[in-house]
Amino acid sequence: MPPATGGGLAESELRPRRGRCGPQAARAAGRDVAAEAVARSPKRPAWGSRRFEAVGWWALLALVTLLSFATRFHRLDEPPHICWDETHFGKMGSYYINRTFFFDVHPPLGKMLIGLAGYLSGYDGTFLFQKPGDKYEHHSYMGMRGFCAFLGSWLVPFAYLTVLDLSKSLSAALLTAALLTFDTGCLTLSQYILLDPILMFFIMAAMLSMVKYNSCADRPFSAPWWFWLSLTGVSLAGALGVKFVGLFIILQVGLNTIADLWYLFGDLSLSLVTVGKHLTARVLCLIVLPLALYTATFAVHFMVLSKSGPGDGFFSSAFQARLSGNNLHNASIPEHGSGARAHPPEMEPGVEELHTVWLEALNLAYGSVITVKNLRMAIGYLHSHRHLYPEGIGARQQQVTTYLHKDYNNLWIIKKHNTNSDPLDPSFPVEFVRHGDIIRLEHKETSRNLHSHYHEAPMTRKHYQVTGYGINGTGDSNDFWRIEVVNRKFGNRIKVLRSRIRFIHLVTGCVLGSSGKVLPKWGWEQLEVTCTPYLKETLNSIWNVEDHINPKLPNISLDVLQPSFPEILLESHMVMIRGNSGLKPKDNEFTSKPWHWPINYQGLRFSGVNDTDFRVYLLGNPVVWWLNLLSIALYLLSGSIIAVAMQRGARLPAEVAGLSQVLLRGGGQVLLGWTLHYFPFFLMGRVLYFHHYFPAMLFSSMLTGILWDTLLRLCAWGLASWPLARGIHVAGILSLLLGTAYSFYLFHPLAYGMVGPLAQDPQSPMAGLRWLDSWDF
């Protein structure tokens, strides 16, 4: 049965019943006080019979849901080309369909769901998603857009039900639903192949489930209580599985749970066994269940993406060994006495000993073509190309960088420092590289040697420049490096993949490493390589040999080197976190600062630039956003006044006390959500965009609905002696609803598309709507 919107409870019902916990009693009392206050207020609409009331409740919910779906699915097929980040997430959906491994800074659930939606709707994964503006032509993209729009459409009814449960007011819930339905920003984000509608769906589902299980606090361990508690855990796993921003809703649910448990512990009417049951239930549903589901998404992710792809280079050599098609499935090894064979030994007596010898025979040999990978996450391979350092940047010699992707320019030939003879000559025996050897690394594509000297590195002060130098492998003594295995003795052989090695420059004594700093455009935005005089061992200066190509050596499968699931799970998180923190803006990309977001200072171009283009511009409905901003300020003021008055023991009338409880409890819950989803961005060092604010915007819209409904009811109560007092609340809510709808009518072209003159042109139909100069539509 839907919650009642009228009718109060007897005064005795406000007293806690035996067996209720402290917070449960307080919440129940707060709800009952609110219900009684609203019932006494002449402003509450009378619905008649309970059956008519229930029909009206369901009808309003259906209307809200229908309107939300209608606005999100209207003109969903336009424009029929890639818009903004569809180029990333559509491409990642294709990777899942093709089972091709890739790297992204976010957890995999959202992209997996996009790929699944595309697969089920007939998309074959062949569209390249190269850049915004590319037409989809015959490729099926509506399934993926439709899936995101479907989830985005549920944000409105979820917010409606959440506010209805917190305030017990249909008018507050309707106002919240209108703010989100008629917001052009939420509408735009819901219509494209993006992670945002999926993330916000799980955030709002978690919020609604938490509020619902709180409302079942007087019936602990009942079926509805277990259902909503479990659904909260599932939603938390979903939110975190889409983006790490899901941690913010986890924090909110965690704070709510800690407060509940604390008051349960202080309720002396409950035995410690009962408190223990409450604790166990929350641990199972809010910790164990989300962790299990979150881990399961990664298990599916790794199982599906089994083929080598563009994301290989971000991960360790051992991680890459598990990907079919990666060249680490066939690594070169030397013959190792009579114990080694050209293929893994058969299962026969002594096979374990022979197999151990076989694996230990992965030795680095002179003359081999190798790739050298830095052990710090997301640094990549030692790389060079024919471009020179520009004038004024050290010596004008060939650039040496690190590069995250597989490339022919990552290939080097390892040679002895004091001979130019070809070690691959069949007449020469295979010689292995040992710890402490003096070697040269010759770049295979350009025949220049890895070189360093006393010139300063391009970006890191007090580090030395690393270059490519020489002609056809002939250079000078600055090309000589001593290769050392970390924590090993001199004379030990270097193992491919396994040995952690350092390169010590023989002349300067510095250590080859990567600073991780991104070079300017002249360095193709690859990462800086330096030679550091500081000999402290860090991952930046430790490398391993990954590819090892030598025609004089046989090949084996490296399946035995594949890491375990916990190892690849940990490594993937390390790479994601590092990649997230290192995100930099692209050329001509609109970035923003957190203080821009609540004031709707600047939007994002989703599609089109010129007056002949089909233009979509991500910008919040300014009436909605500025009303939300005003509401936050009013809530802080009015909430503070009410809280101080209640703390000082002021005797408030029953109606005022009930509405004050709604404002403080319900409004405080959503204000906490807004705070947790907004202020952490001020602490982030990564590049930020306008769309990061939208989860917080959901909470500010719910706060607006609760606040204005409560303030209008308080005004109507305070002016009860006036003849028109009964209409103040209704008139106020209707004005807000109509104003919001009209503003959507004005600004809807931002979401549904504009063609023709830009807003700067007086002839443009949008000319009068460019209220801020920073709006570039």
Arithmetic mean of pLDDT over the chain: 84
Please say whether the beta carbons of 47 and 6 come within 8 A.
yes
Residue 709 located in a structural domain: yes
Please say whether the beta carbons of 643 and 665 come within 8 A.
no
Residues in the chain, how many? 777
Shared domain check, 651 and 759: yes
Q: Which tokens go with 261?
A: 């448990």
CA distances, 724 to each of 388, 654, 716, 721 (Å): 81, 22, 9, 9
Please say whether the beta carbons of 682 and 710 come within 8 A.
no
Report the distance separating Cα 350 and Cα 343, nearest Å.
16
Task: Give residue 34's Cα distance to chain centre.
Answer: 39
Residue 764 located in a structural domain: yes
pLDDT (mean) for 504-521: 92
**Which DSSP string corresponds to 527-554?**
EEEEEES-----GGG-EEEEEEE-TTS-
In the block, residue with structure tokens 């040992």: 434
pLDDT number for residue 354:
35
Residue 471 DSSP class? B
Q: Residue 349 above 50 pLDDT? A: no
Q: Residue 445 above 50 pLDDT? A: yes
pLDDT (mean) for 490-510: 85
pLDDT number for residue 648:
80
Q: Would you place residue 553 in the very low, low, confident or very high pLDDT band (cuts 50, 70, 90)?
A: confident
Dihedral through CA 654, CA 656, CA 657, CA 660, nearest 10?
160
Please say whether the beta carbons of 228 and 213 come within 8 A.
yes
Q: Which tokens go with 173?
A: 């819930």
pLDDT number for residue 530:
95
Q: Residue 355 above 80 pLDDT? A: no
Question: Which of 329, 348, 326, 321 is CA-nearest to residue 555?
Answer: 329
Distance from the first to the final alpha carbon of the chain:
47
Dihedral through CA 212, CA 218, CA 221, CA 225, nearest 10?
-10
Identify residue 444 by its one-letter amino acid code.
Answer: K
Shared domain check, 606 and 532: no
**Is residue 518 classed as helix, strand or coil in its secondary structure?**
strand
In the block, residue with structure tokens 């010898």: 357
pLDDT number for residue 753:
87
pLDDT (mean) for 197-226: 94
Q: Would you place residue 340 in the very low, low, confident or very high pLDDT band (cuts 50, 70, 90)?
A: very low
Q: What percentage of residues in the chain have a pLDDT greater than 90?
A: 52
Residue 279 located in a structural domain: yes
Q: Would you place residue 679 in the very low, low, confident or very high pLDDT band (cuts 50, 70, 90)?
A: very high
Instruction: Among 241, 272, 307, identify where a domain stops.
Output: 307
Shared domain check, 293 and 215: yes
Q: Which tokens go with 287?
A: 């910790």
pLDDT (mean) for 211-235: 94
Please say whether the beta carbons of 229 and 282 come within 8 A.
yes
Please say whether the beta carbons of 177 and 156 come within 8 A.
yes
pLDDT number for residue 353:
39
pLDDT (mean) for 553-569: 73
Question: Which of 501, 522, 520 is CA-nearest to residue 398?
Answer: 522
Q: Would you place residue 582 in the very low, low, confident or very high pLDDT band (cuts 50, 70, 90)?
A: low
pLDDT (mean) for 611-617: 83
pLDDT number for residue 297:
96
Q: Which tokens go with 622?
A: 């300014």
Report the distance separating Cα 388 and Cα 523, nearest Å.
9
- For the segment 265-289, what is each residue's pLDDT rounded down to a tens digit? 888 888 999 999 999 999 999 999 9
pLDDT number for residue 196:
95
**Is residue 3 classed as helix, strand or coil in its secondary structure?**
coil
Report the distance separating Cα 627 and Cα 182, nearest Å.
13
Instruction: Among 274, 307, 340, identify where a domain stops.
Output: 307
Question: Which of 93, 141, 88 is CA-nearest to residue 113?
Answer: 93
Shared domain check, 363 and 490: yes
Q: Would you place residue 332 in the very low, low, confident or very high pLDDT band (cuts 50, 70, 90)?
A: very low
Report the distance separating Cα 553 and Cα 595, nearest Å.
61
Please say whether the beta carbons of 136 and 86 come within 8 A.
no
Number of compact structural domains in the chain: 4
Shared domain check, 681 and 541: no
pLDDT number for residue 42:
39
Q: Would you place residue 579 in the very low, low, confident or very high pLDDT band (cuts 50, 70, 90)?
A: confident
Q: Would you place residue 586 in the very low, low, confident or very high pLDDT band (cuts 50, 70, 90)?
A: low
Q: Would you place residue 472 in the very low, low, confident or very high pLDDT band (cuts 50, 70, 90)?
A: confident
**Which DSSP string corresponds to 617-652?**
EE---HHHHHHHHHHHHHHHHHHHHHHHHHHTT---
Please say whether the beta carbons of 465 and 457 come within 8 A.
yes
pLDDT (mean) for 642-652: 83
pLDDT number for residue 628:
95
**Most confident option among 17-21, 102-106, 591-595, 753-757:** 102-106
Shared domain check, 398 and 353: yes
Report the distance separating Cα 408 and Cα 60, nearest Å.
63
pLDDT number for residue 720:
73
Strand partners, 401: 383, 528
pLDDT (mean) for 55-62: 87
Report the distance separating Cα 117 and Cα 51, nearest Å.
40
- For the segment 360-414, what is each residue's pLDDT rounded down to a tens digit? 347 888 888 999 999 887 788 999 999 999 998 889 999 999 998 888 999 999 9
Please say whether the beta carbons of 168 and 39 come within 8 A.
no
pLDDT (mean) for 335-341: 35
Question: Which of 250, 76, 208, 231 is CA-nearest to residue 148?
Answer: 76
Strand partners, 530: 465, 513
Shared domain check, 513 and 364: yes
Question: Which of 380, 635, 668 is CA-nearest to residue 527?
Answer: 380
pLDDT number for residue 26:
41
Shared domain check, 399 and 257: no
Positive/negative CA dihedral, 424, 429, 434, 438: negative
Shared domain check, 614 and 587: yes
Q: Residue 711 above 70 pLDDT? A: yes
Report the distance separating Cα 731 and Cα 712, nearest Å.
9
Provide the CATH number for the domain around residue 409: 2.80.10.50
Strand partners, 450: 468
Q: Which tokens go with 161?
A: 């039900």
pLDDT (mean) for 472-486: 89
Strands 527-532 and 481-485: unpaired
The residues, any chain, with a CB within 8 Å of residue 293's CB and separated by 6 or more, are 233, 234, 237, 238, 241
Residue 181 located in a structural domain: no
pLDDT (mean) for 595-624: 88
Q: Would you place residue 762 in the very low, low, confident or very high pLDDT band (cuts 50, 70, 90)?
A: confident
Among the residue ranges 6-15, 96-105, 622-631, the one predicted with the least confidence is 6-15
In the block, residue with structure tokens 């009718």: 7
Q: Residue 557 above 70 pLDDT? A: no
Query: How much is the CA Rg of the chain, to the nearest whole Å?
Result: 32
Instruction: Among 307, 342, 374, identify where a domain stops.
Output: 307
Report the distance separating Cα 408 and Cα 419, nearest Å.
25
300 phi and psi angles, rounded to 5 deg: -65, -40
Residue 38 located in a structural domain: no
- For the segment 77-91, what is each residue's pLDDT rounded down to a tens digit? 999 999 988 999 999
Residue 575 located in a structural domain: no
Shared domain check, 528 and 496: yes
The enclosing H or E element of 502 equals strand 501-505
pTM: 0.81
Report the distance separating Cα 577 and Cα 644, nearest Å.
43
Question: Which of 324, 356, 357, 358 is CA-nearest to residue 343?
Answer: 358
Please say whether the beta carbons of 82 and 288 come within 8 A.
no
Among the residue ranges 66-70, 196-200, 238-242, 525-529, the one predicted with the least confidence is 525-529
CA-based angle 596:246:707, to the nearest 5?
60
Report the distance separating Cα 354 and Cα 357, nearest Å.
5
Residue 737 located in a structural domain: yes
- For the segment 143-175, what is each residue's pLDDT rounded down to a tens digit? 999 999 999 999 999 999 999 999 999 999 999
CA distances, 288 to each of 200, 234, 291, 566, 757 (Å): 22, 10, 5, 16, 55
Q: Which tokens go with 455?
A: 């010139």
Task: Collect contacts of 48-52 with beta carbons under 8 A, ≥24 apart.
Answer: 50/4
Shared domain check, 516 and 415: yes
pLDDT number for residue 589:
58
pLDDT (mean) for 291-313: 91
Shared domain check, 437 and 376: yes
pLDDT number for residue 357:
37
Helix, strand and coil in the chain, % to nearest 5:
50, 15, 40
pLDDT number for residue 49:
59
Q: Would you place residue 40 in the very low, low, confident or very high pLDDT band (cuts 50, 70, 90)?
A: very low
Question: Which of 263, 168, 160, 171 is CA-nearest to residue 207?
Answer: 160
Q: Residue 359 above 60 pLDDT? A: no
Report the distance separating Cα 568 and Cα 562, nearest Å.
9
The whole domain housing 97 covers: 86-149
User: Of residues 646 and 437, which shows the higher confidence score?
Assistant: 437
CA-based angle 59:65:69, to the nearest 5?
145
Residue 537 located in a structural domain: yes
pLDDT number for residue 330:
54
Task: Collect contacts of 294-299 with beta carbons under 8 A, ≥24 apart.
Answer: 294/107, 294/237, 294/240, 294/241, 295/569, 297/107, 297/108, 297/109, 297/112, 297/237, 297/241, 298/107, 298/108, 298/569, 298/572, 299/565
